Amino acid sequence: MTTKRVKMEDIRLVLGDLGCTIKRFGATVVSFTKAEREGLFVSKQAVLDGSKPIRGGIPVVFPVFGADPAGQLPSHGFARTSVWRVLDQPSASKVTLCLTPAEAEWKLHPSAFRLEYEVELLLPNSLRTSLRVMNFSGLLNEDGFEFQCLLHTYLNIGKDISNVRVVGLDKAKFVDQLHPLPRTVLASGHASRIDQEVDHIYFGDAGLGEEEELVVECEGKPAFSCKRSFRLFAAKQFQCDVVVWNPWVEKARKLQDFGDDEYKEMLCIEPGNVGRRDVLRGGEDAVLTQTLSLL
């Protein structure tokens, strides 16, 4: 990744007492507020000059989640480190950004993608972010390309991670990314509390359901509602996975752009299609949508 330093105007959305700020770098939503409350976490040590992904907000992960099996792309892909273009801003509360190979940070795979990312404020308390992935290589192109996509949402949970619970996961199967052997286990009540490093992929087709709501409780009270959906139309693939991540003490210390104690203030709830590598053929598209509400 070239360390391009970028200085650009932020995009600001407003609607009633809702507000949202988006950086064109990575199309990263860095703030979602209702009145005085900030719903998203951004590290105080986040690097905002375009030389590395922003540590916080809602980074856009595409076309790979984690390491690239082909060893070509940066971890979590190039969408979050590319400069996106504003395609349309129909109102003060809605904007669509776009990324194509011409603007992308990475000139390799895939060659025929087009991303359109819609960010919209919805009264009384929601932020809707919808990523459309297209293969515009023409209807005849059967090759298509493999992709994963995910909205890596950092929730601002206040100061006490020990008093946070995620409601809605306890029937789902998950893979523990920290376990040496990739194994799928059924979640249980303990999985909903955060008292150590957590890096779990909960599978949409294993008990999570299509658009089930997750509720994040902070200090015993519902604080966030996270609704999500994933649609890969041609393949009739409709399950949306969710990654839950908190770096905890050791990992927090190792992250350069993250304060040692900031693990207490955040929890990542990340909708996406990461449990498999879907193929998008010429002329096909897929849509990943998250509706985050401040309760």
* CA atoms lying within 13 Å on the CB side of residue 252: 19
Q: What's at 18, amino acid-wise?
A: L
What's the closest the beta carbon of residue 20 comes to ligand TA6, in angstroms?
Answer: 21
Q: Does 272 bind ligand TA6 (CB under 6 A)?
A: no
Which of 245, 252, 267, 271 contacts ligand TA6 by CB under 6 A? 245
Q: How far is the CB of 232 from ligand TA6 (least distance, A)?
A: 21
CB 64, min distance to ligand TA6, A: 11
Out of 105, 120, 270, 284, which one is annotated catalytic?
270
* Residue 75 found at the interface with ligand TA6 (CB under 6 A): yes
Position among 131, 243, 269, 288 found at the interface with ligand TA6 (CB under 6 A): 243
Provide the 3-class DSSP secondary structure of residue 88: strand
Restricted to residues 150-209, the positions that interact with ligand TA6 (CB under 6 A) are 152, 177, 199
Q: How far apart are CA 3 and CA 25, in angstroms?
A: 12
Say which residues have a Cβ less than 8 Å from residue 76's Cβ, sequence separation at least 6.
53, 59, 61, 64, 65, 66, 150, 152
Q: Is 56:266 a contact under the CB 8 Å cutoff?
A: yes
57 binding ligand TA6? (CB under 6 A):
no
Comparing every residue's Cβ against ligand TA6, the nearest one is 245
Give the residue with the Cβ less far from ligand TA6, 270 or 278: 270
Q: Which is nearer to ligand TA6, 19 or 53 (CB)?
A: 53
Q: Which of 19, 50, 53, 56 binds ligand TA6 (CB under 6 A)?
A: 53
228 binds ligand TA6 (CB under 6 A): no
Comparison of 85 and 173: residue with beta carbon closer to ligand TA6: 173
66 scored as a contact of ligand TA6 (CB under 6 A): yes
The sign one gets for the Cα dihedral 60, 264, 212, 125 is: negative
Catalytic residue selected from 152, 262, 265, 284: 152
Please report whether residue 23 would count as binding ligand TA6 according to CB under 6 A: no
How many degrees, rounded to 5, is the angle at CA 50 between CA 20 and CA 30? 15
Backbone angles phi, psi at 253, to 5 degrees: -65, -35
Q: Which residues pair with 130 in a beta bridge?
A: 118, 289
Quick one: DSSP state of residue 123? T
Strand partners, 177: none
The torsion angle over the Cα atoms of residues 268, 166, 118 and 258, rounded to 10 degrees, is: -20
Tell me the pairing of strands 214-218 and 164-167.
antiparallel
List 68, 212, 241, 270, residue binding ligand TA6 (CB under 6 A): 270
Q: Can you read off the two tokens belonging to residue 90?
A: 């129909």
Residue 50 C-beta: closest distance to ligand TA6, Å: 15
State which residue, 118 or 270, has the beta carbon closest to ligand TA6. Answer: 270
Do residues 206 and 184 touch, judged by C-beta distance below 8 A? Answer: yes
Hey, how many other C-beta atoms are within 10 angstroms of the C-beta on 29? Answer: 29
Q: Is 76 marked active-site?
A: no
Residue 217 annotated among the catalytic residues of the structure: no
Which residue from 23, 24, 34, 76 is in contact with ligand TA6, where contact means CB under 6 A? Answer: 76
| Residues annotated as part of the active site | 152, 270
Residues in touch with ligand TA6 (CB under 6 A): 53, 66, 75-76, 152, 177, 199, 243, 245, 268, 270
